[in-house]
Structure 1
């Protein structure tokens, strides 16, 4: 059933120019998404190791298994979305229906029941995170697919991707500024030092007093951080719903799908198989997302344990996000002047340099970390923005190649590959610090554990980003070629409409 609120652009006609409200509305959607996604990327491993008491070696498979499950869910949801047809369009209803369950699941993930046995801790961790992943797919797949249905103009898609990146970055910055002080306040190391000072220093305290002080600090830190995270995620439920409703009412679909777009699963798979630009983009995104998630997962550890001050994480996040905001107004001009692929490659180089700088930064020179985070932010601003614009372009390529337009399935496959990158990144971060001796409740980490944090924060992300650079240098869909295939597709639609009349 279709009503007047459904897309109204006729086949073969250009889409209407997007208004500022549409860009802002699209940005708020990813701001809402990242209340769940970035919260988990930045702080879930820390929650597992330092609050729940799950060793890193056991936490690593959680990220691997659940995020692979999440990727499979993306493909399933993508097929559901492609078959949806309501008076509100194909994509916005999913955002409306699934956003509240997603936000409530985020509360659950950071409030899992206390348990004495490791088995029960793992059970609740897998279950809660798995439910969160399911609802995230039901929001994020239609949200990501929406951009390709809002406009076919390359510069407008670049702007949509830019606004999306800004929305995500704003949420990431907010989370860093709000959560990092709580991590610092409830650090077992800081609390232990306070209790030792009350005893007159380590020299004046007996071994029994020091052991008691450490045990009390660990318990107080876990309880305090748990309470803070539960409160914050509950607040995010109300903030997130306001953001999602803004997207629902302002980001509307314009691009009409031909009747033959109701493709079977086999037809959709064949469309994707022939979409070589999408395949190259998927490989590059897999590598870059593995790199980025490894980096972002370790950020709070790097600030607190390597630089010695969890509060620095907020400053580093401001610098990283500031770089994205400074760059955002120029991305459309970069695309117009140099093309998406060149901009993507330039961003990857900036990310590599920043990550390597983090690896060699001494604890006594936090200014080097600040410079590194600015470079990383510049790289992320370019890559994450252009990644989404390029994904939308591959939908047009698939339609030109096969005559079928499958936004939901295409985005779902791309998202599945990204989820694999997130899975590998979270697994790598937890695995590296687990192998190098990190202990979540320890007042002082060993030199090996600190070196492991450096490797996971800087060296591994740099190597993976270098592989991304090699892959994306071969990406075949240039902006010139994109304009040619779009014109051909629209000419076909116009001819089909004329023949039907």
Structure 2
């Protein structure tokens, strides 16, 4: 395929900047907002985050099926969701940070309803957005560029939040007015960014089946072992990452006593994002996406260990642990989207049907589940330590609870993805072979004409080829016989 032009890459990155005006604002500040502004207890807030984020995970599956079933001749499969779902999503972000004083039960009910509605709206925008990358290009290097652009967009927003918003989270400030003003501004900025994405990031990958049935979706998932391994590793990685993200502000403010370092960390994060984005495409071509994922995860583990064992008096050692963890997280978050897109081709190779929507939805389902568990575990660690709302002086037990959430949980959880991905078989070389075989199958179909054929396992191929079970390829992956030898040679 032709290389992506710069405008389409920038446009794709703008979409995740818009996503994170809602998503990162919630992950960074919602726990603090619930405990320190709305007055909800840490334990109740932890349960809320767990329940609603698990609901979000199932909402992703619903959104994935909606995407697979939809198709517009004018706008394609994905862009209509981005255009028409953006404004409701951003308005719900305003509602989430506007909890009225209705008594404890009333506040909790309002928080549950608004956060769940935000999660559903986010799924209906983010699943199409994430699926769009796999439909823009099949080149690993170009997909790495899209992953880099996505991370740049996301981290530009999160860095801005850290630089300009986090310093405002201090005792005595009118935080309700702060969050209301910020989220209203985000409605305007986010809408403009989403429409920029919809106008510039367009689908280019051929699809034989525009609308995918439920049976075809389930068949693709059932045979996609690399996707399942990637989902499992991402669940544990996100559990550790969200634990750290949820209490990062608490760690700087209450453990190190240096809330002023939050903007510094955000600036470092932004600089690292641009550096990694510039080199990630070359790094992927050199060592492969799988190895980037594994080595970066190990960096996050090391950072977590430093955070957990560093005494509160050693500010700069603890801060360095945050930076090391951050480098690992950034690198993983660039490469993981390209890995997910590769599993779409693997599913197409196995079944003859491209199912970006349900594939990305299952991937996002496990990530959301990990986020739910990670955020809840962080809140429970605060509660068990006896965290006092309001940001005042904390007890040694509360300090220890924060260090557990910021250091021990990420270190323990992220080592599991390393073990899982060490067995991952869908390497870049294998993916390249798969792409060649898919293209050869399409070429044969173009000459022979589309014919519906039954597969050896009783399912139907919709791209005009007979897909029969066969022996393993040289890379150790099971492939359909017609896919392995599409021209019959």
CA drift of 1:375 comes to: 1.4
Q: Is the 8 A contact 1:68 1:419 kept in 2?
A: yes
Work out whether 1:282 is the aligned partner of 2:231.
yes
Deviations 1:132-183 (A, max 9, x none): 0011001100000000110111110111111111111111101111211210
Q: In 2, Cα distance between the equivalents of 1:35 and 1:388?
A: 19
* 1:181 matched residue in structure 2: 167
Matched residue, 1:215? none
Q: What is the CA-CA distance between 1:307 and the residue it aligns to? A: 1.2
**Aligned residue number for residue 244 of structure 1:** 194
Separation of aligned partners in 2, 1:363 and 1:313: 16
- TM-score under structure 1 length normalisation: 0.88
Partner of 2:149: 163
TM-score between both structures, scaled by the size of structure 2: 0.90
SS of residue matched to 2:169: helix
Misfit runs of 4+, over 6 Å: none
Shift of residue 290, structure 1, vs aligned partner: 0.6
Is the contact between residue 141 and residue 285 of structure 2 (CA under 8 Å) also seen in structure 1? yes
Superposed, which structure 2 residues align to 1:300-339 within 5 Å? 300-339=249-288
Classify 1:345/1:313 alpha carbon distance in 2 versus 1 (closer, same or farther; 3 Å). Answer: same
CA distance in 2, matches of 1:283, 1:318: 31
The structure 2 residue matched to 1:227, chosen from 174, 177, 187, is 177
CA contact (8 A) 2:69 2:213 kept: no
Per the alignment, residue 485 of structure 1 pairs with 434
Alignment of 1:38-57 (within 5 A): 38-57=24-43
The corresponding residue for 1:12 is: none
Which residue matches 2:85? 98
Indicate whether 1:464 and 2:423 are aligned.
no
Choose from 182, 204, 207 the match for 1:257: 207
Give the count of matched residue pairs.
Answer: 449
Unaligned runs of 5+ residues in structure 2 are 451-489
Higher relative contact order at CA 8 Å, sep ≥6: structure 1 or structure 2? 1
Conserved 8 A contact 2:70-2:211: no
Whether the 8 Å CA contact 2:36–2:391 is kept in 1: the answer is: no
Shift of 1:430: 0.6
Q: Are 1:110 and 2:97 counterparts?
A: yes
| Cα distance in 1 for residues equivalent to 2:244 and 2:98 | 25
TM-superposed CA distance for 1:442, in Å, is 5.9
Distance 1:369 1:318 in 2: 17
Note if contact 1:148-1:392 (Cα within 8 Å) is conserved in structure 2: yes
| Cα distance, 1:385 vs structure 2 | 1.0
Q: 1:83 offset after TM fit, Å?
A: 1.6
Number of the residue aligned with 1:499: 448
Any idea what the Cα deviations from partners look like across 1:114-138, whole Å, max 9, x if unmatched? 22x2111110110110110011001
Deviations 1:92-124 (A, max 9, x none): 110000001111110110112122x21111101
Q: Aligned partners of 1:60, 1:266: CA distance in 2, in Å?
A: 37
